[in-house]
Amino acid sequence: MKRLPIIFIIFTFAAIFMLNGCEGEVCPPNAMAYAKFTMVNQHGTAVAPTVPTSIIGQITTDVTVYDTLDNGEIIERIVEDSIISDTLINKESKMSTFKVPLSYSDETTFIISYDGEQQDYITIKHRNIPYFMSVDCGTMMFHEATEVTHSYGIDSVVIVNPNIDNYEKENFRIYFTVSDTQ
């Protein structure tokens, strides 16, 4: 029992060490939620456009604008059903998957532009889920995809996982018909 004081001291310093070691915030690595798309052929094999491809996000919403009158007065005006476009990916080559953010609207359209020559579009209807996890990490916006439509250049779009949050996973699979010689 002569070792008792030593045991106490060891326990004490171990406790202090552990207390210091436990101080730290654990926030998710991705504060943004991205929808991940995979492009595949009719056999389910990944394919990539042969030309540089851009993804343009588009929403329709009311926009507040400020007009300056001749007398210098500034007036606020709401322009209803304005189309807002945002280039999310610009001319990327050999892109068989891509990740893009959905909007805070209830519908987001993605225009797939093949080197500015041809275009396809995918429209996703979604439910937005504001989310709080920690006062130190801030708030995040997650989404749940409810419906997807597309242009005729695309065979089909399948919702693989409707939950779009800060855990990266395949959410949508875009099927193209590609001739077997390509």
Partner 1 sequence: MRKKTSGYILQCLILSSLLICPLYVFAQDKKDKEKTEKVKLYQGITAGVEIAGLGNYVLGSDILSSEVMLQANFLNRFLPVVEIGYGKVNTLSDATDIHYKAAAPFFKIGADYNFFHNKPHLPGYLFGGIRYGFSSFAYDVDAPDMTDTNYGGQIQVPFSYHGVNTTAHWLEIVGGMKVKIYKGFCMGWSIKYKKRLSYTKHANTEPWYIPGYGENAGTGFTLSYHLMYNLPF
* Residues binding partner 1 (CB under 8 A): 1-2, 4-5, 7-9, 11-12, 15-16, 18-20, 22-23, 26, 32, 57, 59, 61-64, 84, 86, 88, 101, 103-105, 108, 128-139, 141
- Nearer Cβ to partner 1, position 40 or 54? 54
Least distance to partner 1 from the beta carbon of 112, Å?
17
The tokens for 42 are: 């009719």
- Nearer Cβ to partner 1, position 52 or 101? 101
Least distance to partner 1 from the beta carbon of 114, Å?
22
- Nearer Cβ to partner 1, position 109 or 175? 109
- Nearer Cβ to partner 1, position 144 or 155? 144
Least distance to partner 1 from the beta carbon of 133, Å?
6
- Nearer Cβ to partner 1, position 28 or 52? 28
**101 has which bridge partners?**
34
Least distance to partner 1 from the beta carbon of 180, Å?
38
Give whole-number Cα distances, 159 to 124, 126, 173, in Å.
10, 12, 7
End-to-end CA separation in angstroms for the chain: 81
Least distance to partner 1 from the beta carbon of 66, Å?
13
Least distance to partner 1 from the beta carbon of 175, Å?
26
- Nearer Cβ to partner 1, position 96 or 105? 105
Three-class secondary structure of residue 100 per DSSP: strand
CB 126 within 8 A of CB 57: no
Residue 37: Cβ within 10 Å count: 22
Residue in the structure block whose two tokens are 């800060």: 166
Say which residues have a Cβ less than 8 Å from residue 169's Cβ, sequence separation at least 6: 36, 160, 161
Residue in the structure block whose two tokens are 């610009």: 90
The tokens for 85 are: 């476009």
